[in-house]
Amino acid sequence: MRLKVLDKISSCKVDEDLFSQGFSIDQLMELAGLSVSNVIYDISPPEKGRKILVLAGPGNNGGDVGLVAARHLWHYGYTPSVYYPKKGKSDLLKRLCIQLEELSIPFVDDFLLAINDADHIIDAIFGFNFSGEVRDPFVEVIETLKYTKVPVTSIDIPSGWDLEKGPLEKGVASGWCPTFLVSLTAPKPCTRYFKGRHFIGGRFVTPSIIKKYNLSFINYDGYKQYLEITGIPIQDYLE
């Protein structure tokens, strides 16, 4: 078995199809964030350390999924904090921020201090729409992630990686790889280069979408919102 991948164009089309099937962006981000929080609970339970730092970016990956995960983790007994230097402006993002503020989840300004104090880091900076070079204020963040000894879980794609080519030889993300990765909907082509523990989440893909995009059927276990896929070969992008 080789897991099928989704490139950028197909990923966007899958989202559009889900919207046409009655899903809202709120629902999809909520389910994605829930799956990420479930993974964190199982790989890094509260008794191993409750301080979770979410590094959030301006798009759906961080601004939505990362913030949703932070909220769920608070309810699981963690003490999350969020570094969110470039906030998005959508109504959904504003509502998610209000939800975190109501739980007294702090938005931190000093990410170096926050990283050094964290027991686990969630990389929710960039998603599958990222392209080009990493720019401030995230250059220093990714540089720091390269050398931190704190476990890092990336959402969908390690931030700064090329969607198809993975970690580029040059650039700020060169040489960095997270400890864990949670792919959403389906693995992206770059996950062929990921060597850590790999999970898949986002339990909302319908049979018609699986058939239309020739995706691998993910046999989730019971109520679980994710499945570990470590060691399962990833389809070559050009196959």
Looking at residue 174, its pLDDT comes to: 82
| CATH at 155 | 3.40.50.10260
Looking at residue 136, its pLDDT comes to: 81
Residue 1 belongs to a domain? no
Q: CA 166, CA 194: separation in Å to the nearest integer?
A: 8
- Tokens representing residue 204 in the block: 């909302």
- Report residues of the chain scoring pLDDT below 70: 1, 59-63, 129-132, 236-239
Per the structure, the complete domain to which residue 51 belongs is given by 8-228
Looking at residue 129, its pLDDT comes to: 67
Number of domains within the chain:
1
**Per-residue model confidence as pLDDT tens digits over 181-203:** 999 999 999 999 999 999 999 89
Compute CA 4 distance to the chain's CA centroid, rounded to the nearest angstrom. 19
Looking at residue 108, its pLDDT comes to: 97
pTM, two decimal places:
0.94
Give the CA distances from residue 137 to residues 13, 85, 92, 113, 160, in Å, rounded to whole numbers and listed in that order. 30, 7, 23, 16, 13
Residue 215 belongs to a domain? yes
Residue 135 belongs to a domain? yes
Residue 140 belongs to a domain? yes
Residue 133 belongs to a domain? yes
Residue 31 belongs to a domain? yes
Residue 3 belongs to a domain? no
Residue 236 belongs to a domain? no
